[in-house]
């Protein structure tokens, strides 16, 4: 509810990241950043202010260490309401299966635990069909309701996906490359739940 007693719509923006672990397996992760719709104009304005000339969007892997530090310090000050990071160890050949398993856990948690009404997932073009199948399966099994909107958007199309990208990428970078500085900033500033290999 906002100050006038109106229902505030909760969004979740989801992006993925991964990396090779020392044993040769891969760490695959997804982050869902939770926001209130009323905060979106401010969030979009402040995120766009971080773009360099010629940049169309922010992407953690495209930035230098110094730029990453600058960006996460700004993100630490942004008014998002929390986030969930969920990960699984997998192989390159089984990445799509890992994604399906994480979404099957994450979407019901978002709807029933966090009262999320709209989910925005970064588009993978042809890969989006796999996510739609996962959502349809959850609806048929009555694990989520059909009222939960799930849409796929490119990074250029929604600045809030940049938050999810940085969140999950700083987490996987901390684990895979032992570069913990950026994750420590975000974790200290926001309520972030990390779930490893959900059932």
Q: What angle do CA 109, 111, 115 make, to 5 degrees?
A: 110
122 falls within a domain: yes
Question: Residue 5 pLDDT > 90, yes or no?
Answer: no
The pLDDT-based confidence of 30 (bands split at 50, 70, 90) is very high
pLDDT at res. 22 = 86
Using one digit for the tens of pLDDT, what is the confidence trace for 157-167? 999 999 999 99
66 falls within a domain: yes
Any idea what the CATH number is for the domain that residue 127 is in? 3.30.420.10
Answer positive or negative: Cα dihedral of 20, 21, 27, 31. Answer: negative
CA 106 to chain centre: 11
The order of strands in the sheet holding 118-122 is 149-153, 118-122, 10-20, 26-36, 82-90, 192-196
147 falls within a domain: yes
pLDDT at res. 6 = 67
C-alpha 81/C-alpha 191 separation (Å) is 8
Using one digit for the tens of pLDDT, what is the confidence trace for 90-145? 998 999 999 999 999 999 999 999 999 999 999 998 999 999 999 999 999 999 99
Which structural domain, as residue segments, surrounds residue 174?
Answer: 10-196
Give yes or no for a contact between 73 and 65, defined as CB atoms under 8 angstroms apart. Answer: no
The pLDDT-based confidence of 24 (bands split at 50, 70, 90) is confident
Domain tally for the chain? 1
1 falls within a domain: no
Mean model confidence pLDDT for the chain: 94
5 falls within a domain: no
Q: How many C-beta atoms lie closer than 10 Å to residue 151's C-beta? A: 12
Question: Residue 44 pLDDT > 80, yes or no?
Answer: yes
C-alpha 178/C-alpha 19 separation (Å) is 12
189 falls within a domain: yes
pLDDT at res. 4 = 58
127 falls within a domain: yes
């Amino acid at each position: 509810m906002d100050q006038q007693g109106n229902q505030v719509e909760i969004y979740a923006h989801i992006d993925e990241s991964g990396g090779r672990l020392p044993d040769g397996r891969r760490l695959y992760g997804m982050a869902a950043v939770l926001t209130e719709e009323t905060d979106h104009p401010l969030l979009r304005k402040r995120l766009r202010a971080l773009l360099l000339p010629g940049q169309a969007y922010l992407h953690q892997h495209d930035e230098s260490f110094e730029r990453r530090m600058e960006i996460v310090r700004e993100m630490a000050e942004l008014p998002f309401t929390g986030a969930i990071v969920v990960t699984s160890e997998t192989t390159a050949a089984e990445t799509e299966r890992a994604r399906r398993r994480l979404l099957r856990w994450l979407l019901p948690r978002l709807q029933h635990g966090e009262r999320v009404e709209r989910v925005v997932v970064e588009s993978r073009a042809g890969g989006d069909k796999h996510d739609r199948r996962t959502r349809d399966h959850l609806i048929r099994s009555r694990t989520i309701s059909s009222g939960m909107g799930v849409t796929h958007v490119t990074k250029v199309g929604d600045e809030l996906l940049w938050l999810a990208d940085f969140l999950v990428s700083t987490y996987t970078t901390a684990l895979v490359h032992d570069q913990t500085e950026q994750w420590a900033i975000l974790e200290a500033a926001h309520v972030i739940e990390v779930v490893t290999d959900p059932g």
